[in-house]
Every structure is written in C-alpha cells, then in structure tokens.
C-alpha cells in the first residue's frame, strides 16, 4: 500500500493533474502509460502552441510519423518491444514537454490503478475535469466546423498559414466568455489517497 499525491491545477483549457507516483512508475519499463499512447493535438492546443511555443508546432509539422486530418495532428508512437514509445518520451526524465504544452489526454491522465475517481473527497475535481473535457470537445468541434466551412484544412500545406490565422481568430471569439465552473474552483489543490501498488504488467494502464 502506498500514499499517492495528486495535485490538480485549474488553468482553464490548459488544466492538468500531477501524480507524484509517475517518477517511480510501477510499470518499471521507463515509459509507463506513455508507451501506449500517440498524442493528438486539436485546435485549442494549436492556439496555445502558436502563442507560447510556435517552434514546437513547427517541429510537429515537420515530423514524418504524423497523421494529419482536417483540424488535428496525431504524433504516432514508434514500435519498441515491449510495446511502443511516444515521440516525446525520454528514457530518462519522462515526457520532455512541459505540462502546458501537452494535449488534454496527457494533461488529464491518471493511471486506473489509482482509484481517485471513486473517492468522494476528489468529487469536485472529477466533475471539473469531466466538464472541462466536454467543453474542450465542443469548442474544438466548433472551431473545426468553422474552418471547414471556410474550406481550410491542415491537409493542404499551402493554406496552413491562413488556417492557423483563422484558427486563432475563431478561438479568441469562442473563448471571450469562459464557462462559470472554471472560475468557481481553486487554482490548485493537492489531495492524497492510499492505493495498492502492483508491478510490471500487473499495473494496469
Ligand atoms: S506527449 Fe508526453 S505525456 Fe503525452 S504520451 Fe507523449 S511522453 Fe507521454
């Protein structure tokens, strides 16, 4: 049994959860959950990257292992026995992206072995991240639909500068009013729970 601390950061669309167990991941394979995931970046991520780390967006666009759809980019993992490895994951030090630069699954993920969602004292954060995910999906769908209606797509390399220019304009229009539930919660809170650790592949991801 081990006490695990979760720190919740309410940062609007860039909210995230820190888990203090990650530095001693029970999978013991130097990649944990990141060995099974390919991050997907959506319009709200692009808006943040353009304004805070445009060189990261450039790097993503220059990669060969990406899947580009009309308004999203998946950075595909590479095969590495056992399992895979995320492009952004280092053997030492884990994810090289700061939390704010990660996409939402990476920012919100907590291993299922840590049963925080069943614990009543975490309910306000469970509700917060659930509502935030719904809000983010709805926002990204709106932005994607608008770009599509203007015949703008990431698949068209030539029109990407205009795509990102319009994306920022639409993002700003759509986020003038932020939902109430975001302002109602603390900016940060740390809470702990005790859970049973299992090791290697017995630790479910
Ligand atoms: S982007 Fe970072 S957190 Fe997300 S899967 Fe890759 S290494 Fe893990």
Tens of pLDDT, residue by residue over 47-60, are 999 999 999 999 99
C-alpha of residue 17 to centroid of ligand 1, in Å? 13
- pLDDT, tens only, 155-187: 999 999 999 999 999 999 999 999 999 999 999
C-alpha of residue 188 to centroid of ligand 1, in Å? 22
Ligand 1 atom closest to Cα of residue 97: 2
Contacts of 17 (CB under 8 A, 6+ apart): 6, 7, 8, 9, 107, 108, 109, 110, 125, 129
Nearest-CA residue for ligand 1 atom 4 is 106
- pLDDT, tens only, 98-131: 999 999 999 999 999 999 999 999 999 999 999 9
Question: Given a cut of 90, is residue 192 above it in pLDDT?
Answer: yes
C-alpha of residue 75 to centroid of ligand 1, in Å? 10
Q: Could you tell me the residue ranges of all domains in the chain? A: 2-175+187-202
Cα atoms in the 13 Å half-sphere on the side-chain side of 4: 24
Question: Given a cut of 90, is residue 81 above it in pLDDT?
Answer: no
Entry pTM: 0.95
Which carries the bigger pLDDT value, residue 204 or residue 125? Answer: 125
C-alpha of residue 150 to centroid of ligand 1, in Å? 32
Q: Please give the Cα distance from 17 to 144 (Å, whole number).
A: 27
Q: Which of 29, 39, 76 to mutate to test the pocket of ligand 1 (most atoms within 8 A of CB)?
A: 39
Question: How large is the average pLDDT for residues 18-23?
Answer: 94
Q: Which of 29, 31, 78, 102 to mutate to test the pocket of ligand 1 (most atoms within 8 A of CB)?
A: 102
C-alpha of residue 201 to centroid of ligand 1, in Å? 19
Nearest-CA residue for ligand 1 atom 2 is 95
Backbone dihedral angles phi then psi of residue 55, each to the nearest 5 degrees: -65, -25
């Amino acid at each position: 049994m081990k006490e695990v601390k979760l720190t919740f950061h309410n940062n609007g669309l860039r909210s995230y959860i820190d888990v203090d167990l990650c530095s001693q991941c029970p999978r013991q394979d130097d990649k944990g959950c990141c060995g099974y995931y390919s991050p997907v970046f959506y319009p709200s991520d692009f808006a943040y990257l353009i304004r805070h780390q445009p060189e990261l967006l450039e790097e993503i666009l220059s990669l060969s292992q990406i899947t580009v759809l009309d308004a999203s980019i998946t950075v595909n993992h590479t095969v590495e026995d056992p399992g895979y490895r995320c492009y952004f994951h280092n053997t030492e030090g884990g994810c090289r992206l700061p939390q704010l630069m990660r996409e939402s699954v990476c920012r919100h993920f907590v291993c299922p072995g840590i049963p925080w969602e069943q614990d009543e004292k975490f309910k306000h954060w469970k509700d917060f991240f659930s509502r935030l995910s719904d809000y983010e999906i709805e926002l990204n769908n709106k932005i994607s639909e608008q770009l599509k209606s203007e015949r703008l797509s990431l698949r068209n390399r030539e029109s990407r500068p205009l795509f990102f220019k319009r994306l920022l304009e639409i993002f700003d229009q759509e986020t003038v009013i932020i939902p109430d539930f975001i302002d109602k919660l603390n900016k940060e809170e740390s809470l702990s729970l005790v859970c049973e650790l299992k090791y290697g592949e017995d630790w479910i991801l």
